Amino acid sequence: MRITVVRGDITEQQVDAVVNAANSSLLGGGGVDGAIHRRGGPAILEECRRLRAGHLGGGLPVGEAVATTAGDLPARWVIHTVGPVHTDGQDNIGPLASCFRESLRVADELGARTVAFPAISTGVYRYPLEEAACVSLWTLARTPTSVEEVRLVLFDQKAYDTFDRAREALDPSDAQVEAWLRSLPDATWLELFDAADALTDEDRDVARPVYPDRVRRLYRSLPGASVDWMKWMRGNPLVSDPSLLAGAPVADAARLATVYVRGERFNDGVFGRAVQDGSVDAIVRRLRVWVGQGGC
């Protein structure tokens, strides 16, 4: 799937489906929602009202998506999704990532091959642009779909520049990171998996600044890739949910390992907490699967 970042008005996009940054009522609003209903005409709202009279009586939940006609828009469908209102101290990344994942799922059900997304939640819902851009791009790049082109349509230059920079955070490419992993000697993998297997429950329970030898050995054996880990990790769903690694390219395991290996140098305890919360286990599991499949 190709991901393009353009500056423009989402209502003018010549695509199969346009994603609307809706609210749970599905009855319209301002911003993207207002523009889509204004330009698309009453047919969209009529279909939204039928959804509300039917299985969406309670409204569309945050992170979910549903399709209607696109009315007079150049597109065939509108996929309405409800982003999270950015709230400090809550999980904002998960629901925002879900908007992109669920919109692609609906697009696949429709048979849409080209889909335009706005910067969901970054307007009225106050989601910081930089983090939203990372969540959006990482999720789009990692969601299996039959959609051939996803077009992120940014309304102003600041949003465009932010999303374009965030796309660089996916560099170096998966292929480049995987080629580096493949270049590592077999001894690296033997040492890593042996160190991981040697960890005791007690090692896992306590993330302390003075790590037991077995934790230090595991720390030393994790492959940390040469990636811009601080940019990549900002808003990356993997940091809050490492179980997503199971479905991600092995390059993400190396990137996430880098976050903890390098992060420990800046802040004692980062690695210990990653051992404690299972993130390091998820990384080792993903690497073990890749090595077991003859990756290296």
Q: Does 31 bind ligand APR (CB under 6 A)?
A: yes
In 163-188, which positions are buried (b, 16+ CB within 10 angstroms) versus exposed (e)? bbebbebbebebeebbebbeeeeeeb
Nearer to ligand APR, 43 or 184 (CB): 43
Q: Which of 9, 16, 33, 241 is catalytic?
A: 33
- CA distances to 42, 159, 215 from 29, rounded to whole Å, are 14, 21, 53
Q: Does 221 bind ligand APR (CB under 6 A)?
A: no
Q: Among residue numbers 78 through 137, which ones bind ligand APR (CB under 6 A)?
A: 83, 118-125
Which residue is closest to ligand APR by CB? 29
Q: Is 33 annotated as catalytic?
A: yes
According to CB under 6 A, which one of 5, 15, 17, 23 is a site residue for ligand APR? 23
Give the residue with the Cβ less far from ligand APR, 83 or 237: 83
Please select the residue that binds ligand APR; options are 10, 17, 62, 79, rule is CB under 6 A. Answer: 10
**Closer residue to ligand APR (CB): 99 or 256:** 99
* Strand-pair partners of 117: 152
> Could you say which of 15, 19, 159, 259 contacts ligand APR (CB under 6 A)?
159
Residue of 33, 174, 252, 264 that binds ligand APR (CB under 6 A) = 33
Q: Which is nearer to ligand APR, 122 or 221 (CB)?
A: 122
Nearer residue to ligand APR within complex by CB, 66 or 195: 66
* 21 lies in the site for ligand APR, by CB under 6 A: yes
- Per CB under 6 A, which region of 15-23, 184-192, 208-216, 226-234 contacts ligand APR? 15-23
Q: Which stretch binds ligand APR (CB under 6 A): 16-24, 167-175, 234-242, 261-269?
A: 16-24
* Residue 152 is a binding residue for ligand APR (CB under 6 A): no
In one letter, which amino acid is 239? V
Task: Please give the positions annotated as active site.
Answer: 33
Summarize as ranges the residues that interact with ligand APR (CB under 6 A).
9-11, 21-23, 29-35, 83, 118-125, 153, 155-156, 159
